[in-house]
Amino acid sequence: MPGGGGRKSDKYIYRTTRPDGLTIGAPGSSFVPLAVLGEPGVQYDLEKFIYLGSSASLNRAVFLTRSELGLTNLEKLRGALGIRVGAQSVGHDVYIKGRLFAWLLDLKQPKFVVGYASPELNLALHRGEVDARSGHPETLLAQDPQFFDKGLTHFHATLDIPKGNKHPRLASLPDLDNFAKNDRDEKLLALFRAFRIAGHPFLLPPRVPEERVEILREAMRNIFRDPEFHREFKKLTTEDPTPLFPEEHEKVMKGIPKHPEVIELFKTLAGAGPLPSR
């Protein structure tokens, strides 16, 4: 199907696919946020899909700066003016996380520099083209162990999804929740976590007969428990799978926070404009 990705595939599964259990959707990470944020072109209802689970549901992020800046503690980080935070593109996961860290850590007039592929972003940090970035600890370790092993960066805070899911080498860092000042901040973090826990779901269109749904759900349960699946997943991704089983996935989807004020705040943080005031 030409262009059969993103919103086009999601709409096709929802509206066109026969509900016979013979077509399974595997949307990308934008599938849930696009619907909750009310973005144009979304023509599906999240709660009407039938969920078969996800192979990865845990997530971690860390905010770091290059060591040449000497920002060895939170006070110095907050006192630095105009820190350049690198990312791939506006709206990218790394970009949103970087903006979330900068906003909740109360950075002073940070600047957001985009246009990098992930390995290029690491190189830009080493070269001093950018001063800071957010990142997934496991990915950073796989791409560039120097971040951890040679003191080239200072780590400041983590965002653990779910809470308490700390990387062993970053266990002493404060979680971003510590910097929430009010109920709005806490709801914002809850919304972000829900987006990431939902992961990349496998799903069926509405109205598939229950007996066929159960056959496929049991197949997914068996896959997620299979040691061979765990070995193959780690071989392909360098990470251990963290499956979300079908019933858990459905529960997550129904529990996504949908507070209008928080959704608007998230859209602002994900956009290209200045960070909102706190």
Please tell me the predicted confidence (pLDDT) of residue 216.
Answer: 98
Please tell me the predicted confidence (pLDDT) of residue 24.
Answer: 96
Handedness of CA 266, 270, 273, 278 (dihedral sign): positive
Q: Where are the domains of the chain?
A: 1-36+199-219, 59-194
DSSP 108: B
Write phi, then psi, for 191 (nearest 5 degrees): -65, -45
Write phi, then psi, for 134 (nearest 5 degrees): -100, 160
Query: Could you give the CA distance from residue 105 to residue 182 in angstroms, rounded to a whole number?
Result: 14
Q: Which of 41, 50, 47 is nearest to 11 (CA)?
A: 41
Q: What's the CATH code, domain 59-194? A: 3.40.190.10
Whether the predicted model's global pTM rises above the 0.95 cut: no
Cα 217 to the chain's mean position, in Å? 25
pLDDT, tens digit only, all 278 positions of the chain: 787 778 889 999 999 999 999 999 999 888 999 899 998 889 999 999 999 999 988 889 999 999 999 999 999 999 999 999 999 999 899 999 999 999 999 999 999 999 998 889 999 999 999 999 999 998 888 888 887 888 889 999 999 988 888 889 999 999 999 999 999 999 999 999 999 888 789 999 999 999 999 999 999 999 999 999 999 999 988 788 999 999 999 999 988 988 999 999 999 999 999 999 88
Query: Could you give the CA distance from residue 131 to residue 142 in angstroms, rounded to a whole number?
Result: 21
* Secondary structure of residue 145 in the 3-state scheme: coil
Residue reference for tokens 């709206």 = 91
Q: Where are the alpha helices (DSSP H) in 40-171?
A: 74-79, 93-104, 118-127, 137-143, 146-149
Please tell me the predicted confidence (pLDDT) of residue 268.
Answer: 96
